[in-house]
Structure 1
Amino acid sequence: MGNIVESLKKHVLNRRAQDYDEFLSKLDHPERVSPDNHIKLTLSPTTTFEAKATTTKAVAISSTCSEFYLACRNNQIDKVEKLLSTMTLDEIDRLEPNNSTALHAASYHGHKRIVQMLLEAGADRAIQNKFGCLPFDEALNDNVKELFFRVPNSNRLVGDTGAIEWELIDDDVLEKAAEEKNIIETLYNSFIGSDSVYKMFERIEKYYIDNGLANINGFQTVKRFFQKATKEQDPRWIIKAYTAETDFYTTLNAEIAGGAGQYQSERRYIIALLSRHPILDNYTFIGPAYRVMRQNIDDLKKYAVNSCLMTKSFLSSSIDRKVAELFLIRQEEVREQAGTKSRHKADGKVIKSWVMCIYQIKRKRTALHIENSSQYANDGEILIMPYTVFQVRNISKFKAEFLPDKPQMTQIELEEYNQ
């Protein structure tokens, strides 16, 4: 069992390496070159000598790597701690003249304690350096990479019930799915037509975030990301907010699934921006996505081949089955450490069992591959849009080699439905 878990963890830690490791040894990598060598003094050939001197000095000052970045790069723990106490998150996340950040530097050089301090301070994990690498990709070793994992009890790719995630479909609900999609499309097109997409971002931030979510855990983190989204009119900041470990994504999904009336328009704006905004066109995903769920065995019997389900909220899944399996294992470990035991019926059968769900995505913008904008890139997250209809294609059992006692586990294969 232990070997299987370590093998899964190793896979998840290094699944991105084939795409990014080649950049770590490049001679012009920001963390291999002295910061001083990145300073570029650009002079205009038409200026006077005196003007040149002034220009040179100004450019040199603006091109100097920050004291904080250098402290993180050089593993000056006490200095980093002192500077952090007075810094804003924008200062912590500053992209330096060498196109690196403090978190990239600490991660690349293996300064584990400083990486930990930066993550605890709320440093943005999804900033790319000049090679498109995230701080996670730059990590010197697996010990540093593990610092970027979600907390063990995170339910990001694990559902404990189907109540929020989906509902069985009949003709009325098929109609509801089509109706909701039409409302969202019409909303988005109305803002596009009047050239005021900015208003969507503004209203989400002003009404839903500032008023509706002011008391959630992690509000300041969410607020900051939405301020950026509004200022830059860029939905990738919404993805950062959604993937951060706050109460935002659970609250948002519960309210979408429950049909809460207050702030319904603002929630629809979020759905519209993530499902329609052209900036996210290159995030579109076609293929299989994986998610695990603990489901009541009596409810599980309701699902049959050819039956249809509709996602009632955003649904987080992974491009990699082994990531979903590791999430499941970590959940089980937390349950075991807490002394939580599975409940059984009078006949000895367990009340809830684990289910592996495989979603086959077929249409553009039904789902987004968001890992490079996610606060947790190692999740390999595929974000499935609300009101997507899937048809059950197959239900089977398999031996879960990665779980204690290797129990039989249900697997449900779902394919996007042609509405």
Structure 2
Amino acid sequence: MSQIKYFLDKARETNDASYLLRAYTAETNFYHRLNVRSAQLNATGGHPDPNLYSKEWCLAYNAQLLKDPTFEKFHWTGKTYRGMVIALEEYRLYNRVGNGVVNHAFLSTSKVRDVALTFIPPSSPGKYSVICTYTINQGWSALDLETISEYPEEQEVLIIPNMHFRIKKVTERSPTERCPIEIELEQEDMQEAIKEMGYSGFTGDLKKDY
């Protein structure tokens, strides 16, 4: 983790918070640990207790990305794509147009559909290959990492945890296609979404880390 320590030290020394994003895109297990802990804390229902932000490093990291004006130049809106494999039980949950979805962890997506397709592993019995299309309407909720990523050709867009999406369309194609299922989601207005936090139509996120 010496590489991550370097990025975090540089962020403190230079007051350049973009080093936090470089830490996420680095080829280490940092992003995995961050997502696992974020999901654990956010999956308890609703948003985490505000008192935890000073104690949990992953929540402090997430909050910094949201509040620091340094990241405004990375704000992004538009369509972005994520490929994954999900189990039948999960697919039944998400094959419901109109359902709400909350992402409990960071979602790594791409501006290029074909790039997202390359991240889908071969399907196996009881598993389904899925590509999600996210429409991002609020720029602060997603960060364009292309200019600072170690892999700029991936054109990565990082969706911040606890964003709310509505399932707009589910398309099933021939099972012989590379990705036979497409789920289209559109970001909800946060104020409206918060009103629905107790609404059973909101589920957990499609959080498979592929």
Distance 1:397 1:272, change over 3 A: same
Cross-structure match for 2:159: 384
Q: Give the match for residue 308 of structure 1.
A: 100
Q: How far does residue 407 in structure 1 lie from its aligned partner after superposition?
A: 5.6
Q: Secondary structure at the match of 1:259?
A: helix
**Aligned-pair CA distance for 1:325:** 1.3
Please give the residue correspondences for 1:319-330 in structure 2 after superposition, counting only pairs within 5 Å. Answer: 319-328=111-120
Q: CA deviation at 1:259?
A: 1.3
Residue 49 of structure 2 aligns with which residue?
none
1:186-335 alignment to 2 at 5 Å?
Answer: 219-259=1-41, 264-303=55-94, 304-328=96-120, 331-332=121-122
CA deviation vs aligned residue, 1:353-387 (integer Å, no higher than 9, x gap)? 11100110001211011111111111100000000
RMSD: 2.0
CA offset digits 1:46-66 (Å, max 9, x no partner):
xxxxxxxxxxxxxxxxxxxxx
Tell whether the 8 Å contact from 2:54 to 2:60 is kept in structure 1 after alignment.
no
How far the C-alpha of 1:306 sits from its partner, in A, is 0.7
2:150 aligned residue: 375
**Residues 241-298 of structure 1 deviation map (CA, whole Å, 9 limit, x = unaligned):** 1001111000011001101979743322211221221111121111011001111112
Counterpart of 2:21 in structure 1: which amino acid?
A: I
**170, 184, 188: which one aligns with 1:417:** 188
Say if 2:84 and 2:130, in contact at 8 Å, map to a contact too: yes
User: 5 Å matches for 1:32-181?
Assistant: none
**Contact 1:397-1:408 at 8 Å conserved across structures:** no
Task: Letter of the 1:270 partner, please give it.
Answer: Y
Per the alignment, in what secondary structure is the counterpart of residue 241 of structure 1? helix
Structure 1 residues not aligned, in runs of 5+: 1-218, 333-340, 344-350
Tell me, in whole angstroms, the C-alpha distance in 1 between the residues paired with 2:53 and 2:100.
29
Q: Secondary structure at the match of 1:357?
A: strand
Contact persistence 1:229–1:237 (CA under 8 A): yes
- Report the AA paired with residue 135 of structure 2: Q
Give the percent of matched residue pairs that are identical in Structure 1 and Structure 2.
Answer: 29
The 3-state SS of whatever aligns with 2:146 is coil
Partner of residue 136, structure 2: 361
Q: Name the aligned partner's letter for residue 321 of structure 1.
A: R
Please name the residue that 1:191 is paired with: none
Give the structure 2 partner of residue 158 of structure 1. Answer: none
- CA gap of 1:321–1:264, structure 2 versus 1, over 3 A, is farther
Matched residue of 2:173: which SS?
strand
**Distance in 2, Cα, partners of 1:374 & 1:407:** 27
Match of 1:398 in 2: 173
1:281–1:395 Cα change, 3 Å? same
Provide the C-alpha distance between the structure 1 equivalents of 2:110 and 2:41, rounded to a whole number of angstroms.
26
Give the alignment's TM-score, normalised by structure 1: 0.41
Instruction: Note if contact 1:257-1:312 (Cα within 8 Å) is conserved in structure 2.
Output: yes
5+ residue gaps in structure 2?
43-51, 193-210
User: Could you say which structure has the higher helix fraction?
Assistant: 1
The change in CA–CA distance for 1:408 and 1:359 in structure 2 (over 3 A counts) is closer
Offset from partner CA, 1:28-71 (integer Å, 9 cap, x none) = xxxxxxxxxxxxxxxxxxxxxxxxxxxxxxxxxxxxxxxxxxxx
Structure 2 letter corresponding to 1:247: N
Asked if the contact 1:276/1:365 (under 8 Å) is kept, the reply is: no
Larger Rg: 1
With a CA cutoff of 8 Å and minimum separation of 6, indicate the structure with the bigger relative contact order: 2
What residue number does 1:62 align with? none
Between the two proteins, the alignment pairs up a number of residues equal to 180
Q: 1:356 to 1:283 in 2, by over 3 A?
A: same
Letter in 1 for 2:140: R
